């Protein structure tokens, strides 16, 4: 075997060995999930993930194979050694950075890393705020250790294998074989279907399937996907998709079966609660004592017991709530101002009906393009972290929630232009759960309990004001949280959230067991106010006489469909159902997703 052939083989095996070694590292790092599985299942992760590891190794080796091919025509190859080492010294830390970021993010996000973090790095302070200083330093040290070990191994082996000095035109023939193998491994075979995440899925366990994915390959693959959206999920012909979708939208002439309000133009305060999930809400059958205020207030208002978040991130939850537009599986509409400006927004509908609009947030409202979306939604006044004093600020995200609620109360004590719509987005029940209170050892539960205590004081203050009798207060989560940590990102319980309507403007108390989701708030609220909601094509009136009763939610490259009596969870990457109680629900979910992306492509 020629020196060039030996070096190609070494270089490919170097990357392959690195990726294989990272499999048990991932499993050990996430011991709380992986410890439930046998060594045989651990081996299944390595074995079934091998094709993707081969593909990732081939990606990194392709440049070296090409360079060695070109060098075979030159007698002077002093540059070759420097070029290969320089290339490796650049891509190696980048690859390991992706690996370490994936280790840190998986427990929070529930899926292997893709290009999503790049969107949040537009505001690096907020992007890093989810981690404590200790966690950040720990991950940097891990990155440094990994790089030193990987760097030393490469240097050690490179010195012993790299023996290339002069030209060797005969290398052209075996180089063609190497080139073929590189393409073969990158594609994942010779078939029509190329390498994708679903190729390595082998288990009924979502975690084991995720563990088999190569994070570097997944990241590179997500970068290569275009943003046209058209044809992203093409399950049916256009006519079939339209027919299925027409069964899942609000009938044009539907009527409301229930009127909840005493007045046609109440003041409205919408409190969007960061990461409040049903599993920590006693009123919804969750953990006791975590949300005592929200749970006790449930008996005073209208509690929606089967209500779902459409996604798992705040930027997607905001669009679902304010625009009645479903969250997407692989991107965020807020990422594209040119598209988000073209979707309906119910605050604008309220503004056109005479409402005065304000938005309150204790953090950086430029994070994830939030401010541009809020401005396009018609908010005239936007309060952000710059409007709070230094002693009101937490160490990480921004103002404490008690300061946020207090600021709203202070503003309400001033003369108001009515009717008004004020929306608040809380902050401190987001990682790293930096709150000035300790009640629970679990940091998430403790942070939620803190925000719940703040909202309890907030409602108590509101009740002392004359405007209480003419005000509707809506408490709703932006998304849920992975609590307990045995939940996967696709689970139904991972997306169920509380929504409570409260206030003196309500004419009755009620428990609503109808299945619905965040996107249904827009049409439901506007219908109660007798304001036209025809622009909200995806939203449904929860109290509509003939409106379909289902909830759609998206997770990373997959969706869930919940009806009154069934559940379907489908992994689009793996092209398989994770849960299928009703195959018709899966069919409708695919058509819904296809219609969503077709609509998005035209915005």
Model pLDDT for residues 407-424, shown as the tens digit of each residue: 999 999 999 999 999 999
What is the token pair recorded at 444? 């998430």
Burial degree of 390 (CB within 10 A; 0-12, 13-18, 19+): exposed
Query: Residue 281: inside a domain, yes or no?
Result: yes
Spell out the long-range contacts of 573-577 with Cβ–Cβ below 8 A and sequence spacing 24 or more: 573/196, 573/197, 573/198, 573/201, 574/197, 574/198, 574/201, 574/209, 575/198, 576/198, 576/201
What is the token pair recorded at 454? 């703040």
Neighbours of 556 (CB within 10 A): 22
What is the token pair recorded at 560? 């869930």
**CATH at residue 322:** 3.40.720.10
Residues 45, 208 contacting (CB under 8 angstroms): yes
Residues of the chain scoring pLDDT < 50:
1
Burial degree of 154 (CB within 10 A; 0-12, 13-18, 19+): buried
Characterize 311-336 residue by residue with b for buried, 16 or more Cβ atoms within 10 angstroms of its Cβ, and e for exposed. bbbbbbbbbbbbbbbbbbbbbbbbbb
Place of tokens 């905001």: 318
Domain end position, chosen among 494, 524, 541: 541
| Same domain (yes/no): 398, 469 | yes
Query: Residue 310: inside a domain, yes or no?
Result: yes
Residues 282, 291 contacting (CB under 8 angstroms): yes
Question: 135 by DSSP, 3-state: which?
Answer: helix
Domain end position, chosen among 508, 541, 574: 541
Distance CA 580, CA 222 (A): 27
Domain end position, chosen among 209, 224, 239: 224
**pTM of the shown model:** 0.81
Residues 573, 197 contacting (CB under 8 angstroms): yes
Distance CA 265, CA 280 (A): 33
Structure confidence at residue 126 (pLDDT): 58
Query: Residue 497: inside a domain, yes or no?
Result: yes
What is the total count of domains within the chain? 2
| Same domain (yes/no): 70, 152 | yes
Angle between helices 3-29 and 39-71 (to 10 degrees): 150
Query: Residue 204: inside a domain, yes or no?
Result: yes
The DSSP code sequence of 333-347 is GGG-HHHHTTS--HH
In 236-290, the DSSP E strands lie at 267-273
| Same domain (yes/no): 210, 277 | no
What is the token pair recorded at 356? 């005065």
| Same domain (yes/no): 220, 123 | yes
| Same domain (yes/no): 20, 129 | yes
| Same domain (yes/no): 294, 348 | yes
Query: Residue 31: inside a domain, yes or no?
Result: yes
DSSP letter for 377, please. Answer: T
| Same domain (yes/no): 17, 92 | yes
| Same domain (yes/no): 211, 308 | no
| Same domain (yes/no): 218, 268 | no
| Same domain (yes/no): 273, 177 | no
Query: Residue 327: inside a domain, yes or no?
Result: yes
| Same domain (yes/no): 65, 181 | yes
Query: Residue 42: inside a domain, yes or no?
Result: yes
Q: Which of 311, 305, 318, 333 is nearest to 273 (CA)?
A: 318
Query: Residue 577: inside a domain, yes or no?
Result: no
Burial degree of 133 (CB within 10 A; 0-12, 13-18, 19+): exposed
| Same domain (yes/no): 198, 276 | no
The DSSP code sequence of 429-455 is TSTT---S--S-SSHHHHHHHHHHHHH
Distance CA 133, CA 135 (A): 6
Residue 52 CB contacts under 8 Å (≥ 6 apart), including other chains: 188, 195, 197, 199, 200, 212, 213, 214, 217
User: Domain containing 401: what range?
Assistant: 264-541
Signed CA dihedral, 225, 230, 235, 237: sign only: negative
Structure confidence at residue 22 (pLDDT): 95
């Amino acid at each position: 075997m020629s020196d060039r052939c030996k070096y190609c083989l070494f270089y490919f095996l170097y990357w392959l060995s690195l990726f294989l070694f990272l499999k048990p590292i991932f499993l050990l790092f996430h011991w709380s999930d992986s410890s439930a599985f046998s060594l045989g299942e651990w081996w299944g992760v390595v074995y079934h993930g091998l094709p993707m590891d081969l593909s990732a190794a081939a990606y990194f080796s392709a440049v070296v194979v090409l360079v060695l091919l070109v060098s075979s025509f030159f007698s002077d190859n002093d540059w070759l050694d420097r070029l290969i080492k320089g290339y490796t010294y650049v891509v190696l830390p980048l690859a390991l950075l992706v690996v370490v970021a994936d280790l840190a993010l998986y427990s929070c996000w529930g899926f292997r890393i893709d290009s999503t973090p790049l969107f949040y790095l537009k505001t690096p302070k907020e992007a890093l705020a989810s981690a404590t200083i200790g966690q950040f330093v720990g991950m940097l040290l891990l990155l440094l250790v990994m790089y030193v070990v990987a760097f030393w191994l490469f240097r050690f082996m490179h010195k012993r294998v790299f023996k290339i000095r002069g030209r060797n035109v005969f290398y052209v023939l075996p180089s063609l074989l190497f080139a073929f193998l590189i393409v073969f491994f990158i594609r994942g075979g010779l078939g029509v279907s190329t390498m994708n995440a679903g190729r390595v899925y082998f288990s009924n366990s979502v975690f084991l399937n995720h563990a088999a994915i190569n994070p570097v390959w997944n990241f590179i693959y997500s970068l290569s996907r275009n943003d046209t959206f058209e044809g992203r999920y093409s399950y049916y012909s256009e006519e079939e998709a339209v027919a299925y979708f027409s069964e899942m939208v609000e009938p044009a002439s539907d009527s409301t079966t229930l009127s909840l309000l005493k007045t046609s133009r109440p003041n409205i305060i919408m409190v969007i609660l960061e990461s409040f999930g049903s599993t920590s809400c006693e009123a919804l059958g969750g953990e006791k004592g975590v949300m005592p205020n929200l749970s006790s207030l449930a008996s005073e208002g209208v509690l929606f017991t089967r209500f779902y978040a459409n996604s798992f991130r705040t930027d997607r939850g905001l669009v679902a709530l304010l625009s009645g537009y479903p969250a997407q599986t692989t991107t965020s509409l807020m990422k594209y101002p040119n598209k988000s400006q073209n979707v309906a927004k119910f605050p604008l509908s309220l503004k056109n009906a005479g409402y005065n609009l304000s938005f309150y947030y204790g953090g950086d409202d430029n994070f994830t393009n939030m401010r541009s979306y809020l401005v396009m939604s018609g908010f005239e006044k936007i309060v952000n972290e710059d409007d709070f004093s230094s002693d009101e600020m937490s160490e990480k995200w921004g103002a404490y929630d008690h300061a946020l609620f207090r600021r709203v109360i202070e503003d309400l004590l001033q003369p108001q232009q009515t009717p008004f719509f004020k929306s608040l987005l809380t902050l401190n029940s987001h990682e790293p759960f930096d709150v000035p209170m300790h009640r629970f050892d679990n940091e998430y539960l403790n942070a939620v309990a803190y925000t719940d205590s703040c909202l309890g004081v907030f409602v108590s203050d509101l009740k002392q004001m004359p405007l209480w009798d003419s005000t509707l207060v809506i408490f709703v989560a932006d998304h849920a949280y992975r609590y307990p940590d045995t939940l996967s990102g696709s689970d139904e319980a991972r997306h169920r959230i509380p929504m409570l309507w409260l206030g003196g403007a309500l004419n009755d108390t009620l428990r609503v067991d109808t299945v619905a989701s965040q996107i249904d708030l827009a049409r439901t609220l506007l219908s109660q106010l007798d304001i036209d909601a025809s622009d909200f094509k995806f939203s449904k009136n929860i109290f509509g006489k003939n409106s379909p009763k289902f909830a759609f939610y998206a997770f990373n490259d997959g969706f869930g469909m919940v009806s009154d009596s069934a559940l379907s969870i489908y992994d689009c990457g793996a092209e398989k159902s994770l849960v299928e109680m009703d195959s018709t629900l899966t069919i409708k979910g695919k058509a819904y997703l296809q219609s969503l992306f077709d609509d998005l492509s035209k915005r």
